[in-house]
């Protein structure tokens, strides 16, 4: 057994579990819970979690992508000349698609989810209703909706990326 390959794959899967799992936790546990607690508390929790969450997801995503590239190029199928990774093989194509999927997931997470969450939780004006009562402003609903949609889009892409991982495991 190649222990370096083992270590690279082990770390790749560990960080992938954190990245994908963190995203599922936010979508299916954290966000629905935030909608059920008083808005002022939800805002405090949101403001406290977001910077740490953004950094953790950024690091996890970057490690997954880098180690996925190393794993494929280092131990994936060789080309006919034996000079390196066979990008044109089915495995090579699945691997390339995986990079695109992971970059899209990263961009949605860091760009749309991160930025929208910072706007939502950072703007005092959007949270006046939390103390004054009444309904949240239209912009609040728009930002919350964008967070939900982007989170779900990420999850769909994660599922497709995971399918690519299993395909490569079986040689495709």
Q: Please, what is the minimum distance in Å from the beta carbon of residue 20 to ligand HEM?
A: 4
Contact 132, 140 (CB under 8 A): no
User: What contacts 24+ positions apart, CB below 8 Å, involve 164-168?
Assistant: 164/94, 164/95, 164/97, 164/98, 164/101, 165/16, 165/98, 167/94, 168/72, 168/76, 168/91, 168/94, 168/95, 168/98
CA distances 122 to 44, 60, 132, 134, Å, are 10, 24, 18, 20
Footprint on this chain of ligand HEM (rule: CB under 6 A)? 9, 12-13, 16, 20, 64-65, 68-69, 71-72, 76, 95, 98-99, 101-102, 105, 158, 161-162, 165-166, 168-169
Nearest approach, Cβ of residue 71 and ligand HEM (Å): 4
Choice between 43 and 154, CB closer to ligand HEM: 154
Which residue's CB is nearer to ligand HEM, number 17 or number 40?
17
What does the alpha-carbon distance between residue 62 and residue 36 come to, in Å, rounded to a whole number?
Answer: 33
Distances from the Cα of 82 to the Cαs of 68, 88, 90, in angstroms?
21, 13, 17
Nearest distance, CB of residue 53 and ligand HEM, angstroms: 17
Closer to ligand HEM by CB, 42 or 108: give it.
Answer: 108
**Least distance to ligand HEM from the beta carbon of 164, Å?**
7
Residue nearest to ligand HEM (CB): 68
Choose between 13 and 45: whose C-beta lies nearer to ligand HEM.
Answer: 13
The least CB distance from residue 149 to ligand HEM, in Å, is 19
Q: Which is nearer to ligand HEM, 22 or 76 (CB)?
A: 76
């Amino acid at each position: 057994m190649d222990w370096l390959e083992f270590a690279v794959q082990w770390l790749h899967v560990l960080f992938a579990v954190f990245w994908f799992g963190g995203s599922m936790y936010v979508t299916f546990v954290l966000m629905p819970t935030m909608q059920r607690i008083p808005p002022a508390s939800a805002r405090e929790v949101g403001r406290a979690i977001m910077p740490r969450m953004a950094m953790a997801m950024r690091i996890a995503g970057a490690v997954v992508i880098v180690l996925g590239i190393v794993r494929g190029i280092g131990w994936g199928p060789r080309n006919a000349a034996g000079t390196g990774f066979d990008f044109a093989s089915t495995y090579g194509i699945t691997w390339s698609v995986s990079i695109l999927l992971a970059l899209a997931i990263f961009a949605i997470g860091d760009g749309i989810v991160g930025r929208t969450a910072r706007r939502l939780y950072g703007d005092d004006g959007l949270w006046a209703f939390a103390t004054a009562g009444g309904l949240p402003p239209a912009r609040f609903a728009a930002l919350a909706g964008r967070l939900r949609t982007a989170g779900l889009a990420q999850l769909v892409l994660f599922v497709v990326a995971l399918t690519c991982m299993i395909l490569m495991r079986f040689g495709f």
